[in-house]
Chains A and B, each alone.
Chain A
Amino acid sequence: MRGRDDTFLAPGGALRGPLFASLYRQQGQTRTLVTGTLIGRYRIEQLIGRGGNGEVYRASRDDGEFSHQVALKVIRRDRRQAERFRHERNVLARLTHPGIARIHDGGETTDGLLWYAMELVEGERIDRWCQRRSGDWRQVLNLMRVLCEAVHHAHTHLVVHRDIKPSNILIDAHGQPRLLDFGICGSTDGDDQPGSTDALTPAFASPEQLAGAPVTVQSDIYQLGRLLECLDIVGDTAPPWLTRNLAAVIARATDPLPERRYRSVAELSADIERVLQARPSQARRWPLAWHLKLFTRRHRLPMALATLALLSIAGIGLYAAQQVLLERDRAEAQARHASTSAEVLASLIRMATAEFAPDEMQRLLALLDRTGEATLMRLGDMPGQQAIAATALIRTYRDIDQPERARNLGQRVLAALDQESGHWQEARAVLHRDLAHALLALGDADAAREQHRLAQEQLRQAGIDPAQDLDLQTLALALREHAGGDSPDVARDRTTLITRLEQAGRQRSPAFAALLTRQAHDRFNDHDLDGASASLDRAHALTAQHHGPNSRQALAVDRLRIQIALARGGQTERHDSRARIDRQADTIGASAGAGSAEFADVLITQGIAACEDDDMETGVTRFRQAHAALLALHGEQHPDTARAAIRLADGLQELDRAEEALPLYPAAIAVLAQRHGEDHLPLLAARLQQARGQCRLGVQAWAAEDMAQQRQRLGTFMAADHGSMVAAAIWHSQCLLQHGRSEEAQAVHDNAVAPFPDTVLTTIDQRRLQTLRRELRAAATAPALRSLLR
Chain B
Amino acid sequence: MDTSLAESFELPDPDITDASGREQWLAAFHAELRRLASRHMAHNRWIATLGTTVLVNESYLRLARPSSRRVTSRQHLLNLASCAMRQIICDYARKRLRERNHVDVDLVFDENEEEQQAAELEQARELVALDEALAELTRQDARKVQVVECRFFAGLSEEETAQALSCSLRTVQREWQAARRWLAEYLEN
Binding site for B on A (CB under 8 A): 1-4, 8-25, 27-29, 32, 46-52, 56, 78, 124-125, 165, 167-168, 180-181, 198, 201
Contacts and interface: CB of A to CB of B under 8 A. Distances in A.
- Shortest 8 CB-CB distances between A and B: which pairs? A12-B155, A19-B123, A28-B38, A12-B52, A24-B37, A21-B47, A18-B119, A18-B120
Nearest to A124: B106
A544 B163 CA distance: 80
Interface residues of B, number: 57
Contacts of B183: 8-9
24 contacts: A2-B184, A2-B188, A8-B184, A11-B151, A12-B155, A13-B152, A14-B89, A17-B123, A19-B92, A21-B46, A21-B48, A22-B116, A23-B89, A24-B47, A28-B38, A28-B47, A47-B102, A49-B113, A52-B112, A167-B114, A168-B109, A180-B109, A181-B109, A198-B45
Interface of B: 34, 37-38, 41-42, 45-48, 50-52, 55, 85-86, 88-89, 92-93, 96, 99, 102-104, 106-114, 116-117, 119-120, 123-124, 126-127, 130, 148, 151-157, 179-181, 183-184, 187-188
A11 B155 contact: yes
B111 A25 contact: no
Contacts of B52: 11-12, 15
Given A1-B130, A9-B180, A27-B34, A51 B116 contact: no
A24 B109 CA distance: 21
Nearest to B116: A18
B34 A12 contact: no
B120 A49 contact: no
B89 A20 contact: yes
A469 B116 CA distance: 69
Contact of B123 (A18, A27, A56): A18
Nearest to A128: B106
**Majority SS at the chain B contact face:** helix
A111 to B, nearest CB: 15
A495 to B, nearest CB: 50
Nearest to A180: B109
Contacts of B55: 15
**Majority SS at the chain A contact face:** mixed
Given A22-B120, A27-B34, A29-B41, A51 B47 contact: no
A301 to B, nearest CB: 43
A23 B33 CA distance: 11
A278 to B, nearest CB: 35
Contact of B34 (A2, A24, A48): A24
A489 B95 CA distance: 71
B109 A51 contact: yes
A15 B123 CA distance: 11
A201 B112 contact: yes
Contact of B111 (A11, A18, A22, A167): A167
A14 B85 contact: yes
Contacts of B86: 14
A78 B45 CA distance: 11
A15 B110 contact: no
A19 B102 contact: no
A48 B104 contact: yes
A201 B120 CA distance: 20
Contacts of A8: 180, 183-184
A24 B41 contact: yes
A721 B144 CA distance: 71
A11 B157 contact: yes
Given A14-B85, A14-B127, A167 B41 contact: no
Contacts of B34: 24, 27-28
